[in-house]
Amino acid sequence: SGVEHTTKLSLQTLNNGQTLDNADHQQFSMVCQVVHGQVIHLQKYEPSDLSPGTPVPDEDSVVFSKLTYVGCASVNAPRSEVEALRMVSILRSQCQMPLDVTLSVPGVSEGTVRLLDPQTSTEIANYPIYKILFCVRGHDGTPESDCFAFTESHYNTEIFRIHVFRCEIQEAVSRILYSFATAFRRSANKAPLAAKAPPLTPDSDVFTFTVSLEIKEDDGKGTFSAVSKDKDRQSFKLRPGMVKKIVIYVQQTSNNELAIERCFGLLLSPGKNVKNSDMHLLDLESMGKSSDGKSYIITGSWNPNTPQFQAVNEETPKDKFMYMTTAVDLVITEVEEPVRFLLETRVRVCSPNERLFWPFSKRSYTETFYLKLRPVRTSSNTERKSNSDTLYEVVSLESETERERRKTTASPGILSCGSHDNDEPLLSGSGDVSKECGEKILETWGDLLSKWHLNLAVRPKQLPALVRNGVPEALRGEVWQLLAGCHNNDHLVEEYRTLITKESPQDSAITRDINRTFPAHDYFKDTGGDGQDSLYKICKAYSVYDEEIGYCQGQSFLAAVLLLHMPEEQAFSVLVKIMFEYGLRELFKQNFEDLHCKFFQLERLMQECIPDLYTHFLNLSLEAHMYASQWFLTLFTAKFPLYMVFHIIDLLLCEGISVIFNVALALLKTSKDDLLQTDFEGALKFFRVPVPKRYRSEENAKKLMELACSMKVTKLKKYEKEYHTIREQQEQQEAPIERYERENRRLQEANMRLEQENDDLAHELVSSKIALRKDLDNAEEKSDALNKELLITKQKLVESEDEKRRLEEESAQLKEMCRRELDKSESEIKKNGSIIGEYKQVISTRKEGSEEDTDEEKEALKNQLREMELELAQTKLQLVEAECKIQDLEHHLGLALNEVQAAKKTWFNRTLSSIKTVTGAQGKESV
């Protein structure tokens, strides 16, 4: 009854409360589990039900039909109910072209919300659950009561969009929000509640996190730009009074990843070694996974003008700096309590007029953390809660800085196996290599390189002796290219630029390994940094270049070593040379036959040079592949310090793959006394942890390399022949049935691979046919539309010709009318001219005989004069009317001519040209 009451209460809350936040839904998700089966139908999809080209939905997904997609818009406050409801109202009222869709909501937080076409079930768009931040429905009694919406982070965490939907069945709105609540909840464990946690290997309880801090300031243009860092002091350079943002990037570099659920809090405080009470909570703006899924990003706003941050808002004296502490609390699904990562960084508050963009180094501060966990211990009578995913409790959390600080305070020398430091393996990319070198050595190398450049086809005689002592770090990039024969590699450089634009079938494996390659080196530790970007491109290019081998884990470490000494195009060329010409490529063949041969050769060399250690390993059943695989596959680059790694690559490029045996034997000889005292597990741990750490000391590494160079490894060819002879004997002695079974398994694997390829090709063929059919249908529809347009255009052409003839006839009539009126006007003008002449003559006659005329004549002349004046006035009036009529006719004539001319130039010409284009195109098609 308690569950039923809670269910009714939650139903009422959801119907009236309107909102749902993807942040903390533990109580509500338990209710959804109870109600879920009653109000929603879960659809299970079988592969046979799916047509080709149709995306496969999540197994446990809830599908809602009869929905209309109203539209989307950008929002500034993705978790604001007021803002969301305002956008729902606007988009619903302004929607002119609604789109019918089917909505698929997953049942787990790792799923994806999909919009599907209701007719074809093809996917229109998808939104991962971790990007969806907020859900809202319209209030009851409003026009928006049949609508719901969700906000999501678009492309990155600083752009947010709201998507609005309308339901034909209003009651479905509540059901849809139930489904979102189910998706928002924590991922439930599929194992039984009483199941025990999986057994832990020695290192599986240690998880590595790389946490980066970036500070952004308001640039006054409405955007936030990352602040620079002082190149020498590695301190952030801030401006006083500027509003800022804190961005935290959390990336996991260990093999087993934990599920980061959300950020519990982002805190900040001036100073170093601050107390918890001194930390100040910042306003969270966003949280969630990055678009590529590699890291978890938290963004918070920071107003430095508040009193608690006054210390980091006042200008710092020149050549001084201060500390600032940032903390981020993360809720991790498998861990009982939130985990806090503390970052202590240097900052300088600069003058507003100071140039901040030069010099600078990386714009983020990165720290590596080691989280040690242990399984939660529960009694046999105590059952864990059904909604709890907790597997571990925190034992310790230590940063790389704290570890290094502890190492410097410890006693010098090789650490014992029982020390805490030896429990953790050395991270790849550890150790600094100085570019300083004696003048005499540089002069010797300078003379050698000058002579070498004169004849690059021949190596100088003194080169091997110099290489055995190590190539100067400043010259390694040039020397490595010369040793590999890549001095004239323009064709590989051009090919590389083409290869990086192609898709790699092993992209996911490359992306996964990039984050784990040289995490201790500054150039490669930043997610999305220049180092990781170049490393990804080289590995991707090689996987496309060498299709038979593709990508293998050892390549990323070797490529990283090369990138530290040369641009990526040259690094790719040297990598290709090493893989193809130094025998490394053969180690990665599918059956690893060459690699097993190397292990056999190493064991025979041990039997010859270190017989007591060989016997000890034989008694322990410790085989070479158990400890030497990484030595051969990564050329010692994965675990050993860089000083030693670089020297090994020097020797490899100069003397070949046999150098690996020299170094391996030298390692075994120097570690013999310690290894003779170990058991099986102790020996494996010794190879994994103390051996690489021993050579953090440059002096120890030099002694080891001197020993390796002094050893003469012979009989490799003999041992290789012996290995192949033994293999042949084993195959001959093998029972026919076993041999046939092994061959059958091999053929079955090949057959399965070919069937998979055949299925892929068939799927691609079907998809291509569907695409071609769709293109053909579109072409036919376009052809029909063009034919209709052609008929309409022809009709318009006939009408235009008729209109043209009518306008020409009217124009001819107007011309004839104008001609007649002009003739009449000219005759009238001549007549008026004669009348005016007569009038002038009468006037002159009147003046001459005015004295002699009688009164009667005067009266007669006056009458005649009045008549002539009246006739003259009438003539002038007719002349003016004629001129006005002429002007009017000329105006109409001009308009008619303009209309005819415009019709000819514009619509008529365009119509004729479109007809010519269409008829010409159809003519070409028919041909």
Q: Could you give all domains of the chain from N- to C-terminal order, each with its CATH number? A: 61-184 (2.30.29.30), 206-378+389-406 (2.60.40), 456-581 (1.10.8.270), 593-732 (1.10.472.80)
- pLDDT value of residue 312: 86
* 610: its two tokens: 């270190």
- pLDDT value of residue 326: 94
- pLDDT value of residue 14: 41
Task: Identify the three-state secondary structure at position 377.
Answer: coil
- pLDDT value of residue 851: 54
Q: Give the residue from 382, 397, 154, 423 showing the smallest Cα distance to 258.
A: 397
Q: Is 83 in contact with 76 (CB distance < 8 Å)?
A: yes
How far is 485 from 479, CA to CA, in rounded Å? 10
- pLDDT value of residue 423: 59
What parts of the chain have a pLDDT lower than 70?
Answer: 1-59, 154-159, 185-204, 231-234, 255, 354-363, 377-390, 405-424, 590-591, 734-735, 739, 753, 845-854, 902-927
- pLDDT value of residue 218: 85
How far is 881 from 874, CA to CA, in rounded Å? 11
What are the pLDDT digits (tens) for 633-650? 888 888 899 989 999 999
pTM > 0.85: yes or no: no
HSE, side-chain direction, 13 A CA sphere, residue 395: 13
Long-range contacts of 542-548 (CB under 8 A, 24+ apart): 542/572, 542/575, 542/576, 542/579, 543/504, 543/505, 543/506, 543/510, 544/499, 544/502, 544/503, 544/504, 545/495, 545/499, 545/576, 546/576, 546/579, 546/585
How far is 312 from 149, CA to CA, in rounded Å? 41
Task: Identify the three-state secondary structure at position 154.
Answer: coil
- pLDDT value of residue 917: 64
> Would you list the DSSP string of 227-274?
PPBBTTT-EEEE-TT--EEEEEEEEE-SSSPP-EEEEEEEEEEESSS-
- pLDDT value of residue 343: 92
Residue whose structure tokens are 């020097």: 650
Residue 359: cis peptide before it, omega within 30 degrees of 0: yes
Please give the helix or strand (H or E) that residue 393 lies within, else none: strand 392-399
- pLDDT value of residue 248: 94
Please give the helix or strand (H or E) that residue 206 lies within, else none: strand 206-218
> Would you list the DSSP string of 420-486?
SGGGSPPPTT-S-------HHHHHHHHHHHHHHHH-TTS--TTHHHHHHT---GGGHHHHHHHHTT-
The one-letter amino acid code at 381 reads N
- pLDDT value of residue 267: 92
